[in-house]
Amino acid sequence: MWKFVVRRILIMIPQLVVLSILVFILAKVMPGDALSGLVETPGVDSSTIEDMRTTLGINDPVHVQYLNWIKGLSQGDLGTSYIHQRPVLELLEARLWNTVYLSAAILFLTYLIAIPLGITAGRFHDSLIDKLIVGYNYITYATPLFIFALLMLFVFGFQLQWFPTGGSADINLEPGTFSYYMDKIYHLLLPALSGALLATVGTIQYLRNEIIDTKMKDFIKTAKSKGVPEAKIYSHHILRNSFLPIAAFLGYEITGLITGSIFLESIFSYPGIGQLFLQSISQRDFSVVTALVMVTGVATLIGTLLSDIILSLVDPRIRVE
Amino acid sequence: MSNDDILLQVEDLTTSFRIDEQFYPANDHINLDVYENEIVAIVGESGCGKSAFGHSIMGMHHQEQTKISGKIHFKGVDLLSYSNTQLNKVRGKEISMIFQDPLTALNPLMIVGKQIEEGMKYHTKLSKNKRKQKAIEILNEVKIPQPERVYSQYPHELSGGMRQRIVIAIAIACEPSLIIADEPTTALDVTIQARIIDLLKELKRRMKTSIILITHDLGVVSEMADRIAVMYAGEFVEIGEVKRFLKNPLHPYSKSLLYSLPSKNNQGEKLHVIKGVVPSLNHLQRQGCRFKPRMNGTDDSIHEETPTLREVEKGHWVRCTCYKHFHIENSHQVVEEEKDDVFQGQ
């Protein structure tokens, strides 16, 4: 088991190198840089701007820039934001955690809703309840997140005023206290619920189909012929086998959540990396954008790593020595 | 054999499956007795209703897709009157099943020891440790080398033959009085087949179990079974003792089956071919002799209008009167006539 995990982590190293090169190239081929918008600014001389470019290292050969960037990365230095004039790491830290909280909340709520619904639909497939659940799935699949989130915000935030309409915590509360954390959760609920209600589609559909499939398998007949009661057949044989694809998709789910939170964060004015990402792109804040893409990429790799570890825990066939 | 020895008595059993909102019988008014400590083979082509029969006995069919009528007497009770919960007390404990494909019949995520134990959990009061002990004993009985080690292995770590032994181990775990073996050797290669057959025979001898052997392999039948019941299109067309049956098959279908096998007597000759295939449930002509369409233009007069199973000699039953007029005199000639149909027939 440990061998498998270590080997799986070693595989990540070349993946990280390739990822970093891709991210760097993509950022470089984007037209303009953080200073191009300043050219037209009155009072700023174009030679001054050229001087600034040299100081910032933008005029260096590409490979030198890449190596400098990697050197910084390996020391935990993500560079300095051109726009904010602050270290990127500092800029990211608070927002990154907010996004992680939001994603975790969405993931938790998604599974909380999707797993019981998926199991019910699969177990009683073609019944009325199954048709209702599949109907719900079609509707949520077809609903765009940015409209649904706006609607949720309008109804539950502004009309009913059950939830706050923006921010991640009340500024009057002392960070670190119990009520501060409760308030953070309170702020999370509405965006997380909006995201989760739509994110359930994949999990419900997969679980349902997988259960219907597994029900027909020969080993279920074997279990039945042993005299195992139906409820136990579900809990001991069908469910564990049906959860395999859900476990396999956990990694992609995590990636999707982190990138998908861009809409949610903008709509709910929630200070996470999504918001920062949009701003940084429009301002050509090169170092922040590359840092963010890098972070998302690493999150993806960690997500797939998690998937593989979970899969190897539940499926003995994957534990390759 | 007297009536006291009857373990299972199937009476007028009809099992119908739903196809497009209509029910079609896959087993049509079937009668069969299974005596204690005997092996009855049920043979026939694919799709003739053998497996449906085996599944009916254990109530394994999907309830909404199937209609079952008739009686299945087993140890003084009618299994068809049992609810699913009541049947769970019989399945695995009194009657168990051996499945065809050992590659799919085992749960891939569960160690084989636990799969053998599972039935005991519901049918016995053995403690966890005792169950494990028993499971290892059973592994030993089905001739698995190093049973302690295999106990905690997963199915994918075992070979096909080993897995079939595990499937058998599951079936005998609670020492049932009847085992339904649904093509237990079909998915195995020939050498493994022979060993599995020996194992089943030995277990039957030791445990005094009856076995219903569902197969389309007459070789397996001659090696294992005491009696044979030939099934065609959902009906038994001939029932008798295996030895006598092999020497003197009566029903045209039985004869054709035997003549289509290679043997010492027909070396160098082309084998007999039965025209066509078993008609599917919703296209089956249910009036008259069901085998007639595959008998190469026989006269209506030799068939009964409503064929019944008759005892022609003691313990030897045949359906329809057409057997009196059907001969495969020269298998060579038969093949010449049907040359063009050879490929359709397969």
For residues B77 and B56, what is the distance between their CA atoms, to the nearest angstrom?
A: 15
Residue scoring higher pLDDT (B96 or A171): B96
**Which SS3 state, helix, strand or coil, does residue B76 take?**
coil
Instruction: Sort out which chain B residues have CB atoms less than 8 A from A239's CB and list them.
Output: none
Mapped onto helix, strand or coil, the DSSP state of residue A289 is helix
Q: Per-domain residue ranges for chain B?
A: 105-175, 254-345
> Around Cβ B139, how many Cβ atoms within 10 Å?
24
All CATH 1.10.3720.10 domain ranges of chain A, comma separated, are: 92-314
List C-alpha distances in Å: B277 to A312, B47, B346.
46, 9, 8
Residue B144's φ and ψ, nearest 5 degrees, are: -90, 125
Evaluate the CA torsion angle A227, A232, A236, A241 in order and state its sign.
Answer: positive
**Hey, are the CB atoms on B115 and A222 less than 8 Å from each other?**
yes
Task: Provide the pLDDT for residue B334.
Answer: 38
> Which residues in chain A have their CB less than 8 angstroms from residue B88's CB?
227-229
Partner A contacted by B52 (CB < 8 A): no
Write the class of the CATH domain A92-314: mainly alpha
Q: Rounded mean pLDDT of B276-290?
A: 80
- Rounded to whole angstroms, how far apart are CA atoms A277 and A28? 16
C-alpha distance from residue A1 to each of A251, A262, B271 (Å): 19, 37, 56
Please tell me the predicted confidence (pLDDT) of residue B214.
93
β-pair partners for A80:
A87
pLDDT band at B341; cut points 50, 70, 90: very low
* Tens of pLDDT, residues B154-179: 999 999 889 999 999 999 999 899 99
- The per-residue pLDDT for range A150-205, each reduced to its tens digit, is 898 888 888 888 888 777 777 777 777 777 788 888 888 888 898 889 888 989 99
Q: What is the pLDDT of residue B177?
A: 92
Mean pLDDT, rounded, for A234-242: 90
Where do we find the tokens 């007597």? B265
Residue of A49, A26, A80 lying closest to A285 (CA atoms): A80
Cβ of A316 and B107 within 8 Å?
no
Interface contact A227-B58, CB threshold 8 A: no
Joined tokens for residue A207: 């679980």
CA A37 to chain centre: 31
Give the residue, A61 or B108, on which the prediction is more confident: B108
The length of chain B is 346
CB contact under 8 A, B96 and A218: no
B216-227: average pLDDT = 90
Nearest CA in chain A to B57: A225
Q: Which residue in B107, B111, B115, B170 has the most chain A C-beta atoms within 10 A of its own C-beta, making it the best mutation to test that interface?
A: B107
φ and ψ at residue B98, rounded to 5 degrees = -110, 130
* Mean of the per-residue pLDDT values of chain A: 83
Strands B309-313, B316-319: pairing is antiparallel
Rounded to the nearest integer, the mean pLDDT of chain B is 85
Q: Residue A320 above 50 pLDDT?
A: yes
Distance in Å, alpha carbon of B172 to nearest chain A alpha carbon: 10
* Residues of A engaging B, defined by a Cβ cutoff of 8 Å: 217-219, 221-230, 236-237, 240-241, 314-317
Q: Which residue has the tokens 């080997």?
A: A7
Angle at A278 between CA A274 and CA A282, to 5 degrees: 165
Beta bridge partners of B10: B32, B72
